[in-house]
Amino acid sequence: MDAGIELSGVEFVVQGKTILHGVSLSLTARRVGIIGRNGSGKTTLLRLIAGLVAPTSGTLRVAGRDPARERQAMLAEIGILFQNPEHQIIFPTVEEELTFGLHQMGRADEAAARVQAMLAAEGRAHWAGAPVSALSQGQKQWLCLMAVLLMAPRRLLLDEPFAALDLPTQARLRRRLADLPQQIITISHDPEAVADCDRVIWIEAGTVAMEGAPEAVLPAFRAEMTRLGEADADTDLPR
């Protein structure tokens, strides 16, 4: 059976600095939230799960595979939405961007038809030839989501998916995500973004500070963030 995402003693060191300290997690819930303040290691964790970097020590498995070594197999297992769509989009037009993933998966023959069908289903057939530069930030994020969904991965990893969106666009994205059959792992500094998750993991300074239902974890997280704010701590800069 699908073994999900399993981390055991995962440590990640870059430039002599330890960013994750022996993180052990089993991410099996349908909707998982990973919360923590800026610089706590959330995006690093996402990059490890996606196989973009390998742990310095410890083991990490996605559906029983090592994501850093089996990048091709990961295309069907994991889709990522980076925090900034500008860092994700490669091609000048919507159609080229959407077609790319299917080409990578060796399904070039069906790519054009699938892209047309997806755009039509989303009510955006007129986007096909549009230059990506003409899209707003929210539309670029939507494009990235469509590109990922075309590849039909089993899980989605979303890094601060709501951070750059206005409120109506946030609401629309929330509704779209709620309907998806995939496992979704949402990473955010904002407790609101993970309030509907089945399980929440609070990461603090590269370790798991707390794990459980959102009703248990989020009040504790908010209380700690309020305490830090009152202490006027500069929460953003590394020590």
Ligand X SMILES: Nc1ncnc2c1ncn2[C@@H]1O[C@H](COP(=O)(O)OP(=O)(O)O)[C@@H](O)[C@H]1O
Which residues form the interface with ligand X (CB under 6 A)?
Answer: 14-15, 17, 19, 36, 38-44, 238
Closer by beta carbon to ligand X, 127 or else 221:
221
Rg of the chain over all Cα atoms, to the nearest angstrom = 18
Task: Looking at residues 21 to 60 of the shown chain, list those that interact with Mg ion (rule: CB under 5 A).
Answer: 42-43
**Any idea what DSSP says for residue 28?**
-
Q: Which does 85 bind (CB under 5 to 8 A by kind): Mg ion, ligand X, none?
A: none
40 binding partner (options ligand X, Mg ion, none; Cβ < 5 to 8 Å by kind): ligand X
Minimal distance, residue 167 CB to Mg ion, in Å: 22
Report residue 103 CA to chain centroid gap: 22
Of 99 and 186, which has the nearer Cβ to Mg ion? 186
Q: How many residues bind Mg ion (CB under 5 A)?
A: 2
3-state secondary structure of 157: strand
From ligand X, Mg ion, none, which one binds at residue 138 (CB under 5 to 8 Å depending on kind)? Answer: none
235 binds Mg ion (CB under 5 A): no
Pairing between β-strand 57-62 and β-strand 5-14 as defined by DSSP bridges:
antiparallel
- Per-residue HEC secondary structure of 94-144 comes to HHHHHHHHHHHCCCHHHHHHHHHHHHHHCCCHHHCCCEHHHCCHHHHHHHH
Residues interacting with Mg ion, by CB under 5 A?
A: 42-43
